[in-house]
Structure formats: structure tokens, C-alpha cells
A = this chain, B = another copy of it.
């Protein structure tokens, strides 16, 4: 397949075939690419093939062609030799555990074997490209392409260059993931936790505070989110929501009016710790979610698919 810049991607190497690796495998296969999976597990092939069959139904509901996920079309292979797995790849997507030493070793080996113009991306959710690339001869080739759970359904990919990453590589990565049907966003600099997880962490801190203070239960707090701010943030982000809260004057009017109120609220937010007592309380309340984890995850996945389909049908106003 070709991206919007005319670059051609025929073969992908997926290094690390866990949940995230299997998910990328599904994305690449369904876009017509050949995929080679490398993973030290001896049973990686049946595990990944089962994973592909598991995600196929929901992907199909999104309009994705899943033939290569459920049948053996010859597009998918496995190679326990890392160098052999990546040698023909146009893109290498690494999904190893978040251990710096391990990722540094992998990338030194991948770089040595990969084509000089292959796109080199790590799914890392926390370790930055600058650290992972330290043992590479050309550390400027590596970029972070961080997906979100469940990665075959959630559209976002955070593309995070390191200070040494070639800007041309960053642009190339954005075009590639967009061509894969994802919604990549390019961060201008490395920041610990990147953007989405930092925002989630800030909200979670206050959530832990409110539950540990006994203001609401976990289940009540979750209901509060889904029936107000979460519902709105699926449609428009926090800035646009406040932009619309400002009336015809938009965000400038909103800030003019509420600036002091907002600034006064911030210091009153909680600073809980995840000590034994708090973890015990949160774990105890977690027994009261309706259904099993498996049932709730199936509902989440079905709901993600249906919300994406619904939002696709609602036109976004053209820029002024």
C-alpha cells in the first residue's frame, strides 16, 4: 500500500507479539501488508493467530477487510530470528516489555539488520525515543508510535520524536499511521508519559482522592464521568468544550469569566497516595462492577465500534 506521500509499504516486522503486537499485526494485515512476527515465545504462532481471530469481528464492524486475519492468505509469517524477521521490512514496529535495557538491545540489533530506509517505530508507552535509541548508530531514525488499549480499535497513535529524531521521519510516521486508518498526533517534544496518559493520570489522581475521601464510590464516579464529561469528551476535547461554554465569545470569553474560579480550584484538588489502605479500598470496591472483566471488555469493544461509526456520520463544520 501507499501513504498520502506516495511512500510504499509492502512488508512489516512486528517485534513482540503480545496484545499490542497482535493488534498491530491485525492493522497491518488488514491494510494489505505482509507481516513477520518475531517473539521469543515458542507458541507465538497459535497465540497471535487466535488473537487475530478474536479481534476480526469488531474490526469487520468498522468496515475493515479481515480476510487476512481469519484465513491463512500467506501474508503472515513468524521468525524466531530477529535479523531475519526485520531484513525485508518497510516498517518495524517494536512492542517489547517496557524495560530500557531490553529495548536498547533490540533496537541496536534491529538497526543492524533492517533496510536503511525502513520506518523504525517503538510502541513504548513510557520510555522515550531518546533513551531507547541510545545504542543505535543513527538514533535519529527511531520514533515512538504509542497506541491505546484496545489498540486495534482506539484510533489515536501518539507519534513522539526524540530530540535527535529526524523531523522527516516524524512526518513520514504520521503519514504512515494515517494510511493505516489510525489518527496519529505528532507531539513537538518528549514529555514523560506523553499526552493522553498524563491527562488520564491527572483525572485519576482526583478520582482516587474523591473515592478515598468517601465522596462517591468508584461505580458512582464512573457513572458521573460517562454521563457528563466523558460523553462530551468523546465528541469535543476540553478546550473546545470550554470554547462552546463561553458562548459567542468562545474560549477567550470563557477564560475571562472563569479564569479566577479555575485558578482557585486547582490548589484544592487532592494529592492522594496509593498506600496500602487506599489500594485496599479501591480493590474492594472493584468487586462491585457488574459482570466479569471479559463481559465488560466485550461491551467496551462493541461500544467503541458503535460510537466510532456513529461519530463518522456527524459532519464536522468546515474551518472558518
Binding site for B on A (CB under 8 A): 126, 148-149, 154-156, 158, 183, 185-189, 191-193, 195-207, 210-211, 213-216, 218-252, 255-256, 259, 261-263, 265-266, 268-269, 271, 273-274, 279, 282-283, 285-286, 288-297, 299-300, 302-304, 306-308, 310-311, 313-320
Contacts and interface: CB of A to CB of B under 8 A. Distances in A.
A266 to B, nearest CB: 5
Contacts of A214: 188-189
Contacts of A293: 243-244, 246-250
A156 B231 CA distance: 10
Contacts of A249: 293
A189 B215 CA distance: 6
Copies of this protein, total = 2
A199 B233 CA distance: 12
6 contacts: A188-B214, A188-B215, A218-B237, A229-B233, A239-B285, A291-B318
A259 B279 contact: yes
A1 to B, nearest CB: 22
A18 to B, nearest CB: 11
A228 B198 CA distance: 12
B188 A199 contact: no
Contact of A303 (B185, B235, B274): B235
B230 A230 contact: yes
Contacts of A314: 299, 302-303, 306
B155 A283 contact: no
A236 B222 contact: yes
Given A154-B231, A227-B155, A282-B251, A238 B317 contact: no
Given A207-B239, A259-B274, 18 more contacts: A148-B229, A155-B228, A185-B223, A196-B225, A202-B269, A218-B239, A225-B238, A230-B232, A233-B233, A234-B303, A235-B307, A236-B300, A239-B282, A248-B293, A250-B289, A295-B317, A299-B317, A303-B311
B210 A191 contact: yes
Contacts of A252: 279, 283, 286
